[in-house]
A = this chain, B = another copy of it.
Amino acid sequence: MPTDIPAVVVDRLPHYLRTLRLMLDDGIEVVSSRELGEALGTTPAQIRKDLSYFGRFGKQGRGYDVSALLGDLTRILGLERSWPVVLVGVGRLGRAIITYPGLTPEGFHVRAAFDADPSIVGSNVDSVPVRPASEMERFIRDERIEIAILATPGDVAQDVIDRLVACGIRGILNYAPMTPHVPNGITVRTIDPVQALQTMTFYLRDSEEEEDLLPKRNRGRRGNGRR
């Protein structure tokens, strides 16, 4: 398996996974890169090139065996096993994340949640124990946890990130609206709905003028959001 895969390629693999599962559920056994591309909104060439980074999975003249490719991608992404995670910050958002039923079926198990507020420490959220922030490092080290979900306010997020990294966390799913700084080798993904909305408004900016049917100075074609 090649040692340097473009990050954009890795980012697309979960999409492939999801679509292949749907196809398997529909009883589709073989799929061509053209068909997969249509389902995913990409080009056949991109799918073939992406997969070629990891090996040769197709049968010429036929396409890809859905079930086999599903298995291969699952293994490539490291999803044949389950992953324990911790959550930091048990506010409104943190609770919603713990309660979200989509993580467990994908193999991500929230083992503990941490918060600085003594009034909620000791309680349970959806059977996940809330522990004091001071015990965070020990728990992560003892349980050999590598993934953390961060749902604290933005102003303490960087401190928490530094602590997480120091005790062995290697992947952080960040819900705090801030710019995370981490050393090389640590993967951070930030989920930020406001940021997403703020990029959309750029493209919507002055559309009301167009809607008013006033044929002003001809507005040039503006780039649209990808996908």
The chain A residues found within 8 Å of chain B, CB to CB, are: 3-7, 10-11, 13-15, 17-19, 39-41, 76-79, 83, 85, 92-93, 96-97, 99-103, 106, 108, 144, 146-147, 149, 170-171, 173, 177-182, 184-208, 211, 219-227
Contacts and interface: CB of A to CB of B under 8 A. Distances in A.
B222 A3 contact: yes
Contacts of A225: 7, 171, 186-189
A92 B103 contact: no
Contact of A106 (B194, B203, B204, B208): B194
Contacts of A191: 191, 193, 196
Given A14-B198, A15-B195, A198-B14, A204 B3 contact: no
Given A92-B99, A108-B197, 17 more contacts: A3-B220, A3-B221, A4-B220, A5-B223, A7-B226, A10-B203, A15-B179, A77-B201, A79-B201, A103-B197, A106-B198, A147-B201, A147-B204, A171-B201, A173-B193, A187-B224, A191-B196
